[in-house]
Amino acid sequence: MATVLSVSGSPSPTSRTSRLLRHLGARLAAQGHEVVPLDVRTIPAEALLGADFRHPAIVEATELFARADGIVVGTPVYKAAYSGALKALLDLLPQYALAGKTVLPLATGGTAAHVLAIDYALRPVLSSMGAGHIVQGWFTLDRDLTTHEDGSLTVAPGASEALAQVLDQFAAALGRTPLLAAAG
């Protein structure tokens, strides 16, 4: 099966976005995929904001992207765009870090007014990084995600069904994406 890098762009340690990614990662793992979590918030700020390409945490993140067959990118939406933490990381990756990769973009937010953030903010960046195939993403309202003290997450039925569908499309696309030659 495939190796999937699950990237949370949330700056919060109690993030609904991160918990959603872990929830979906468990489903992918149950299908036989290896899921590797990466919380951007754990990368030192001085490495991200100082654009320190040689910082060990940036080198490690770059290697995780290179080894992955597929990438699930999750972000909270702030002011109609993906998080600044995610932007800082994506800016430090090689230009074609997503070449030949299957990518699933996900976003969470408080209002449906931000639903287009995936298509108008995140998808163009992922595409410019050479993603082999970007499957249809999904925006989940915060009110559809209930966090529990034990760290678990409950997803409202309608949102759960939609997320299962996009996750299954992502899983089906893994391994079918032709490798793209990285321009360089």
- Give residue limits of the domains in the chain: 3-173
Burial of 149 (0-12, 13-18, 19+ CB in 10 A): exposed
Q: With a cut of 60, say whether residue 177 has pLDDT above it.
A: no
pLDDT of 184: 36
- Identify the CATH assignment for 3-173 out of 3.40.50.360, 3.40.50.2000, 1.10.3720.10, 2.30.30.100: 3.40.50.360
pLDDT of 182: 36
Q: Can you tell me the mean pLDDT for 47-65?
A: 97
Q: What is the pLDDT of residues 4-42, one digit of tens each?
A: 999 999 999 889 999 999 999 999 999 999 999 999 999
Q: Grade residue 183 by pLDDT with cuts at 50, 70 and 90.
A: very low
Q: What is the pLDDT of residues 111-163, one digit of tens each?
A: 998 999 999 999 999 999 999 899 999 999 999 999 999 988 999 999 999 99
Phi, psi (rounded to 5 degrees) for 8: -100, 120
Determine the residue type at 184.
G
Burial of 8 (0-12, 13-18, 19+ CB in 10 A): buried
The residue count of the chain comes to: 184
Angle (deg, nearest 10), helices 56-67 and 84-92: 80
